[in-house]
Structure 1
Amino acid sequence: MSRAFVKESDAVEELPEKLVSEHRNLVTPEGLRLIEVEVDRLQDALAEGQRSGDRDVIQRVSRDLRYWNQRLTTAEVQAAPQGTDTVSFGATVTLERDDGRVQKFRIVGEDESDPSKGKISYVSPLAQALMEKSVGDVVMAGAGEAEIIKIE
């Protein structure tokens, strides 16, 4: 049927797919659990949308579910760091910036990163600068420098 004969209220606008990172999908055990919880939540939301017949909800949730299912199937769970000699995925690093601020960051997967909660993605510039460094090393952190003062 021609779109000319579809009522405006019946038309569902196509949503673009969510972009998936080209980086490996490294996750902490907690990050995997967050993905699993999101998939479960979206499956419930899809079932509710199908019951109510809300095509906009079905389309939006289906798109989100495709993204999170893909993230779930490609997740590579990383064990906790074995030591604290050098910074690695999953480590918590305490930095002292050149302006005297002390900050603590945990290096996690892309989907679980939340800088406001001290979780940075392993592909972020700061995490990349920290990887394989040791206590006492100085790295570029934004416009300034920061010294690694503790690795957990």
Structure 2
Amino acid sequence: MRVSTSQLQKLTIFTTVLTGGGVGTMYFLLQKKFAESDYHRLAVQELEACPFAMESLGAPPLKVHNIRLTDRHNLVNQQTAQIKIPVTGSKTGGYLYTSSLREPDTHRWSLKQAVLKLREGQTIDLLNSQPSAAQTEAAEHTQNRPLAMSRSKN
């Protein structure tokens, strides 16, 4: 039985569209699963709760982008999650590096590390409630304000 060239072309186009749709759907569902996960949600909440980091980004509005599935920084298993989340604000953008552990008893995720690295090279530790002197100096320098030198020592 002979198959015409036009039938083979139609079959090729159909297979390509079907495969592309399947890959696109899989990518969308994986991104949705990451965005809805507790370890992702906890990290973004920690970023939103840090006024210094939000101001440095120029947020709100804060835009949280899809993670790169092929990035070697993104490792997730049953007990640990280490992800690199791209974020942007109106001033700049950067990556939110996070590390979370899953408690064996409660099966709840807890955030162990959350560090925002901005494009300009500035690093902000979100789990440290007070910005370090270097972070404060860098922020004041970028805003072209004189550096306030009055710091209380314990």
With the length of structure 1 as denominator, give the TM-score of the two structures: 0.35
Rg larger for: 2
Identify the structure with bigger relative contact order (alpha carbons < 8 Å, sequence gap 6+): 1
